[in-house]
Structure 1
Amino acid sequence: MTKILILEDSPPLQSFLKTLLQASGYELSICDKGLDGFARLSEQSYDLVLLDLGLLDMDGQDWLIEFRQWSALPVLVLSARDGEVEKVTALDNGANDYITKPFSANELLARIRVLLRTQSQPSVAFTCGNIKIDPQKHIVTTSGNEIKLTKKEYAILLLLFQNKDKVLTHNAILSHIWGAQYINRPEYVRVHVAQLRQKLEANPASPKYILTEPAVGYRLVD
């Protein structure tokens, strides 16, 4: 069954979406806080996210920016903010589509179907030895067994896969994953890479795939 995560803080709209989407055969999880949404995404796999920009604990635009650091899962924004700048910003931040409230049930269902059709197309997965990462489904496996990673661990691994055989400096990783304000803090990267090795390497003390370039950074190799 197709699983949709809904991030919406309005109880009436939550009720409407639950009734509509369950009747259409979708399995749902509903949160009114962005951090709760991240927690749900780390616990199980979803096929689509419906995102309200006005969450209880954070702005939806900020949620999008952080989410796109580690996942390519489709996001459909549902928002009462109908200004062109707001829409363009959401799309630039990683939204796949944007629908303005109020919207009809038929329009919402049609847009969901379009995004799910795109999602159902074969995704490009990266492999390195017995490690495989599927950016579209946000799944990492070793020898076919799914491995649970934190958001930062996943983001670092995806960046390494996207630059396989290339040395990534500590500051390049910090800037991409944490932001430019975190450069010159290599200990952040070292801790997360050590955790990745514990989860992915047969012998973390003598890694086969995630190699250290002394005083420089890291490199992913087959």
Structure 2
Amino acid sequence: MTKILILEDSPPLQSFLKTLLQASGYELSICDKGLDGFARLSEQSYDLVLLDLGLLDMDGQDWLIEFRQWSALPVLVLSARDGEVEKVTALDNGANDYLTKPFSANELLARIRVLLRTNTQTSLALNCGNITIDPHKHTVTLAQQEVKLTKKEYAILLLMLQNKDKVLTHNAILSHVWGEQYINRPEYVRVHMAQLRQKLEANPATPKHLLTEPAVGYRLVD
């Protein structure tokens, strides 16, 4: 069953979306806080996110920016903010579509079908040996068995798979995953790389895929 994560702080709209989407055959999780949404995404896989920009604990634009650092899952923004700048900003921040409130049930269902169809047709799965990452579903498998990673572990692995066979310096990884303020803190990367090896390598002490480039950084190879 297709799973949709809804981030919406309005109880009446939560109720409307729950009734409409469950009647259409979708499985739902509903949160009113962005941090709760991140927690749900780390616990299970989804096919689509419906995002209100006015969450209880953070602005939806900020949520989008952080989310796009580690996931390519489709996001449909549902917002009362109808200004052109707000829409363009959301799309630039990684939203796949933007629907202004109030909207009709039929238009929402049509937008959802388009995003799910595009998601199904476009496979972005990345592989290295028996390790596979699906950026759309935010899942990692090892020999076809799902492996649970933290957000930082996932972001590092995705970056390395996107740059397979290339050397990534400590600072390149720190800048992409943690932010510019963490440059020159290679110990952050070392700790998370050790954790990744424990989860993904048959012998973490002599890794086959997640290789160290002494004094420089790391390289992912088949």
TM-score range for the pair, normalised by the shorter chain length: over 0.9
Distance in 1 separating the partners of 2:97 and 2:115: 8
Partner of 2:57: 57
Q: How does 1:105-124 map to 2 (within 5 A)?
A: 105-124=105-124
**How far apart are residue 142 of structure 1 and its match?**
1.0
Partner of 2:48: 48
**How far apart are residue 137 of structure 1 and its match?**
1.8
Distance in 2 separating the partners of 1:23 and 1:127: 36
Residue 150 of structure 1 aligns to which amino acid in structure 2? T
Partner of 1:98: 98
Runs of 4+ that moved beyond 6 A: none
Distance in 2 separating the partners of 1:118 and 1:180: 33
**How far apart are residue 214 of structure 1 and its match?**
1.1
Return 5+ residue gaps in structure 2 as ranges.
none
Partner of 1:167: 167
Distance in 2 separating the partners of 1:131 and 1:71: 17
Partner of 1:195: 195
**How far apart are residue 124 of structure 1 and its match?**
2.8
**How far apart are residue 122 of structure 1 and its match?**
4.6
| 2:24 counterpart of 1:20 | no
Partner of 1:66: 66
- Aligned-residue Cα RMSD (Å) equals 0.9
Distance in 1 separating the partners of 2:54 and 2:125: 33
Q: What percentage of residue pairs aligned between the two structures are identical?
A: 90
Distance in 2 separating the partners of 1:64 and 1:124: 19
Distance in 2 separating the partners of 1:162 and 1:171: 17
Distance in 2 separating the partners of 1:124 and 1:84: 30
Secondary structure of 1:132's counterpart equals strand
Q: 1:35-94 CA deviation, whole Å, 9 max, x = no partner?
A: 110111111111100000111111111111111111110000001111111111110110
TM, length-normalised to structure 2: 0.98
TM, length-normalised to structure 1: 0.98
Residue 192 of structure 1 aligns to which amino acid in structure 2? H
Distance in 2 separating the partners of 1:77 and 1:122: 20
Distance in 2 separating the partners of 1:188 and 1:120: 35
